[in-house]
Amino acid sequence: MYTAINGWTKKKMLAVIKKRRYNAPAIKNGACVYLSSNGNKCAVGLFIPDGHHGQRVEGPSDVLFSLYPELKKVMPLDVVGMDSLQSIHDNTFEQYSGEAVGNAKQAMLDWVNEYVKDGK
């Protein structure tokens, strides 16, 4: 079970995920990115503030948080929780091809509903 932090609640997280426009990975030159040229965002990318340089990072979330540690203060979950959410998103797509094998948005919503609780 993960606890929402930084002023986030389960309800706020669900609202952000529900606004996600595409059920496809955010891809640039065949690699996953936090923000693609068409505006699509990966699971972690949904929670990076618009305009932040972290949106242009390519690589896993540990690289993102290493380069921009201040992002930890705006994420709804700790680093382990965000990595778990990203894994749920990633597991709904065939690796490399980007073909959907499930509904990423619904998978993320289900995961938050099941594994996230509000902080005190």
Of the candidate ranges 11-20, 50-59, 86-95, the one whose mean pLDDT is the lowest = 86-95
What pLDDT, on the 0 to 100 scale, is given for residue 30? 64
What's the token pair of residue 113? 């509903």
pLDDT (average), residues 3-11: 96
Q: Where are the domains of the chain?
A: 2-113
What pLDDT, on the 0 to 100 scale, is given for residue 8? 96
**Residue the block writes with tokens 């955010």:** 26
23 pLDDT exceeds 70? no
63-115 pLDDT per residue, tens = 899 999 999 999 999 999 998 988 877 666 554 455 554 577 788 899 999 99
Which residue type, as a one-letter code, is found at position 99?
E
For residues 61 and 1, what is the distance between their CA atoms, to the nearest angstrom?
19
Beta bridge partners of 28: 31
Q: Check: CB of residue 90 under 8 Å from CB of residue 75.
A: no
24 CB-near residues (< 8 Å, 6+ apart): 40, 93, 98, 100, 104
What pLDDT, on the 0 to 100 scale, is given for residue 24? 63
For residues 115 and 32, what is the distance between their CA atoms, to the nearest angstrom?
24
CA-based max dimension of the chain: 42
Which helix (H) or strand (E) element contains residue 117?
A: strand 116-117
